[in-house]
A and B are shown apart, each in its own frame.
Chain A
Amino acid sequence: MPIVVNLDVIMAKRKISSGELAEKIGISQANLSILKTGKAKAIRFSTMEAICKSLDCQPGDILEYQEPDEV
């Protein structure tokens, strides 16, 4: 998929673990893992809002469009 999830990059910058973030945004670690590994097919606005609030970032920092041959 040409949409790349850069959540792990932002998490590393903020020095926050998966468990901690999952707890803060109120989703399971399994779902957070789906998001981090790029397996997710969609993300709810409420989840995005919680992530941006917790990591103090913008949606564009987490999601990035790349041409298919670049991925």
Chain B
Amino acid sequence: MWNREKSITLSKLCILIFLGLLLAVVVSAPWLTHWFVNFSQAGLQGDQSYFLATIYVGFIPAVYLLYSMLGLLRRIDAGRVFVAENVELLRRISWSCFLGAVIALVSVFYYFPWFFVAVAAAFMGLIVRVLKNVFAQAVELKNEADYTV
């Protein structure tokens, strides 16, 4: 039977898979970018180092984001949902998305499709930010309810 614990376990598993994929991309980045630059018809010869720079710099907010999501799920699993720490984690996740968007936006100068990645990351950051505001309000309401006798 499907339940809350299984759902959280699935979410954790998905994050670990993404973490694994991220590490695989970073480790194989030199070969991956080499292949992509040669495969692409967009005339990207000479841009491989830029691609590498984007991947390596983007790795930092991406891994931080995934780590924060794991922390969030760990707290939810422990029954601590509407707490100030989760609001802080959501804020950090949101800023990680925005940082990723900035990195992708800077990368537009050598490869335009990064623009779509930037828009997607910024939009995701915005969604998480709204979620953070909802959580902050929920924490206040919970505190008030907890201290109503």
* Chain A residues in the interface with B (C-beta under 8 A): 27, 31-32, 34-35, 39-44, 47
Contacts and interface: CB of A to CB of B under 8 A. Distances in A.
Q: For the complex, would chain B's binding face be called helix, strand, loop or mixed by DSSP majority?
A: mixed
Nearest to B148: A42
A44 B147 contact: no
A42 B141 CA distance: 12
A47 B148 CA distance: 10
B45 interface: no
A42 B143 CA distance: 11
Nearest 4 Cβ contacts at the A-B interface = A41-B147, A42-B148, A35-B149, A31-B149
Interface in B129-143: 143
A39 B149 CA distance: 10
Interface in B90-149: 143-144, 147-149
Contacts of A31: 149
A35 B146 CA distance: 12
A43 B149 CA distance: 5
